[in-house]
Amino acid sequence: MSQSDAEAITEVEHRKHFVALDGLRGLAAISVVIFHFMEMAILDYTKNFIGHGFLAVDFFFCLSGFVMGYAYDDRIRTLGFIRFVRHRLIRLHPMVVFGAVLGLLAFLFDPFMPVPASYGVGRITMLFLTTLLVVPYPTMVERTHNLFGLNAPEWSLFWEYIASIVYALVLWRVARPALGVLLCIAALWLGICGYRDGWIYNGWDANGFWTGAARVSFSFLAGLFIYRYHLIWKNNLHFYAIGALLVLTFVMPFFSHEWLAEELVVFVFYPSLIMMGAGIHVSGVTEKLCSFLGRLSYPLYMTHYVALWIFMNFYQHHTIGYGMTAFIIGLSVTSLTIFAYGVMRFVDEPLRRRLRHMEKS
């Protein structure tokens, strides 16, 4: 998540609802969960059938920019910065807290790896507090140096928060031509990062920290650009066709000029999917499925990593075949999806309703 989070289209009331985009966000969330398990089991990404699953985060960022413009461009002036921030915290932070608690419990009671001796009460407390506040804390050597050790997907949420603040302070005021200039600058920045690193899979650790900034800068601005210029392609494509196109980007092979292939997906293909997804009509069972996937995506993204570190520690200390690995990953993804559904129904949505009621009263 990434997911990002990923923005919830459903928080915009009494306006056109882009249900297909909800469904695409859900597909991306499920794909990134599968990718995270697979990267723990297969360290060579070129041999990982979903080796480009990390691109889901760039899709989240682009979708977030589109929805941010749609939700707030015409009302942020009257809403004000403080109320805007409250809206974003109500939308996003309950799952931050819940994910931090889950991450702490998994860290303390991991059956396959005891708490390292270097982690005393003070260090663990600091780790928990920084996770609660979505603040980078570069100490987790045991967890691939990620900056958000108790809940690694927070790295993308960190940049989501930064993008939201920049939007509320600056971007909503920026005229369309200037937005295009900023988008070109962000594209150049991300292009340089990709060329330098050989790919764009960075942003969660100290070494690749600023690549995360480049990724969110381009994709968020691209989504906002699509909204501002009304680049919605009315079409008769079925949701499942567009969903298949999205998933294909996660399972595409690796290329000799890998950074260029990834950036073409991010620069061209994902904005195109947003334009097409916003321009299709869904109804019936497909509409219900898309709505469900959209609601599920953020709780799934913010809670699934509680099992990832346990799986990694188990996998490092046990020799198992590919068949058993596939079975464990399949069972884990299914169980985490069911768990995320329960969190959505009984924690996230009720708590956000309560907080919104308190905010209005």
Per residue in 49-77, is it b (16+ CB within 10 Å) or e — as a string?
Answer: ebbbbbbbbbbbbbbbbbbbbbbbeeebe
Query: What mean pLDDT is predicted for residues 187-213?
Result: 95
What's the pLDDT score for residue 149?
82
Yes or no: say if 278 and 19 are a contact pair by the CB < 8 Å rule. no
Confidence class of residue 206 from pLDDT cuts 50, 70 and 90?
A: confident
Q: What is the pLDDT of residues 237-277, one digit of tens each?
A: 999 999 999 999 999 999 999 999 999 999 999 999 999 99
Q: Is residue 139 included in any domain, yes or no?
A: yes
| Residue 218 structural domain | 2-353
What's the pLDDT score for residue 1?
41
| Encoded tokens for 248 | 């294909």
Q: What percent of the chain has pLDDT over 90?
A: 84
Confidence class of residue 318 from pLDDT cuts 50, 70 and 90?
A: confident
With a cut of 70, say whether residue 6 has pLDDT above it. Answer: no
Number of domains within the chain: 1
Q: Is residue 254 included in any domain, yes or no?
A: yes
Yes or no: say if 203 and 159 are a contact pair by the CB < 8 Å rule. yes
What's the pLDDT score for residue 15?
64
Q: Is residue 360 included in any domain, yes or no?
A: no
Q: How far apart are CA 49 and CA 251, in angstroms?
A: 6
Query: What mean pLDDT is predicted for residues 103-109?
Result: 94
Cα 2 to its chain centre, rounded Å, is 2
Q: How far apart are CA 209 and CA 206, in angstroms?
A: 5
Q: How far apart are CA 288 and CA 63, in angstroms?
A: 20
Q: How far apart are CA 119 and CA 25, in angstroms?
A: 37
With a cut of 60, say whether residue 16 has pLDDT above it. Answer: yes
Per residue in 318-357, is it b (16+ CB within 10 Å) or e — as a string?
Answer: eeeeeeebeebbeebbeebbebbeebbeebbeebbeebee
What is the helix, strand, coil percentage profile of the chain, to 5? Answer: 75, 0, 25
Q: What is the pLDDT of residues 23-32, one digit of tens each?
A: 999 999 999 9
What's the pLDDT score for residue 141?
61
**Residues recorded for the chain:** 361
What's the pLDDT score for residue 207?
87
Q: Is residue 347 included in any domain, yes or no?
A: yes
What's the pLDDT score for residue 172?
98
Of residues 320 and 216, the one with the higher pLDDT is 216
Half-sphere exposure of 229 toward its Cβ, with a 13 Å CA cutoff?
15
Q: Which residue has the tokens 């109500």?
A: 90
With a cut of 50, say whether residue 7 has pLDDT above it. Answer: no
Q: Is residue 338 included in any domain, yes or no?
A: yes
Confidence class of residue 34 from pLDDT cuts 50, 70 and 90?
A: very high
Q: Is residue 121 included in any domain, yes or no?
A: yes
Predicted structure pTM score: 0.94
Confidence class of residue 159 from pLDDT cuts 50, 70 and 90?
A: very high
CA-based torsion, 167, 172, 174, 180: positive or negative: positive
Q: Is residue 273 included in any domain, yes or no?
A: yes
Q: H or E segment at 2?
A: strand 2-5
